[in-house]
């Protein structure tokens, strides 16, 4: 299989994960927007696509802020303590590092705040950092799905079909991460 084919698979699973997530949230959860796992979709950086890439990542940051805000609001309304679970820890650490990575990329590459030499030097770090952040975002998403399904199981609200849908969504997100990793590994 060519790197292009792998990249295709990565896109396929990304889209599949997104559709499954939408089906889950809209069909079963009546549009409840709780998990902050939106950052994972936009992650295929090339130098020639810099502007588009930075814009998409900025959208991811905005969506992340909206998501985090929704969580804190939801917790406040339901009297649930904040930032106690592994999902919340991973999610917040990932989001903060993602913000720093974006800011770094924006200043160094977009605004060209560093010399050509320095830019060439830090680019591999920026790329590897992006891959690490994808890795962390997938973990945040998986633990989020796990937490939500546990929470619904507690309340006796989770049944076979919805549980399977959540699991398929989780697998699709995982395979998305894996195939992005695969395709980056060959590029």
151 is an interface residue for a second copy by CB under 8 A: yes
Which position has the token pair 């989780």?
170
131 is an interface residue for a second copy by CB under 8 A: yes
Tokens of 46: 């090339």
Using the contact rule CB under 8 A, the part of the chain among 19-27, 52-60, 107-115, 134-142 near a second copy is: 134-142
* Greatest extent of the chain over all pairs of C-alpha atoms, in Å: 59
- The rounded radius of gyration (Å) of the Cα atoms in the chain is 18
124 is an interface residue for a second copy by CB under 8 A: yes
181 is an interface residue for a second copy by CB under 8 A: yes
What is residue 158's DSSP assignment?
-
Q: How far is the CB of 140 from a second copy (least distance, A)?
A: 9
Cite the DSSP H helix spans in the chain: 3-23, 50-78, 86-105, 116-154, 160-186
Nearer to a second copy, 47 or 51 (CB): 47
Counting Cβ atoms within 10 Å, is residue 169 exposed (0-12), middle (13-18) or buried (19+)?
buried
Angle at 112 between CA 115 and CA 120, to 5 degrees: 50
Q: How far is the CB of 55 from a second copy (least distance, A)?
A: 25
Q: How far is the CB of 92 from a second copy (least distance, A)?
A: 11
177 is an interface residue for a second copy by CB under 8 A: yes
Contact set with a second copy (CB under 8 A)? 84-87, 89-90, 93, 124, 127-128, 131-132, 135-136, 138-139, 142-143, 145-147, 149-151, 154, 163, 166-167, 170-171, 174, 177-178, 181-182, 185-186
């Amino acid at each position: 299989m060519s790197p292009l084919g792998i990249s295709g698979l990565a896109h396929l699973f990304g889209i599949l994960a997104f559709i499954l997530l939408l089906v889950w949230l809209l069909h079963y959860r009546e549009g409840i927007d709780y998990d902050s796992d939106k950052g994972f979709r936009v992650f295929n950086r090339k130098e020639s696509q810099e502007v588009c890439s930075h814009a998409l990542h900025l959208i991811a940051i905005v969506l992340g802020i909206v998501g985090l805000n929704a969580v804190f609001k939801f917790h406040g309304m339901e009297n649930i303590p904040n930032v106690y679970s592994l999902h919340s820890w991973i999610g917040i650490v990932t989001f903060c590092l993602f913000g720093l990575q974006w800011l770094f990329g924006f200043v160094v590459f977009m605004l060209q705040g560093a010399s050509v030499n320095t830019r060439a030097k830090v680019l591999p770090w920026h790329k590897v950092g992006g891959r690490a952040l994808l890795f962390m975002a997938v973990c945040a998403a998986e633990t989020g799905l796990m937490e939500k399904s546990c929470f619904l199981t507690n309340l006796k609200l989770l049944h076979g079909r919805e549980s399977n849908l959540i699991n398929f969504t989780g697998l699709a997100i995982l395979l998305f991460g894996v195939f992005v990793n695969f395709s980056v590994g060959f590029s």
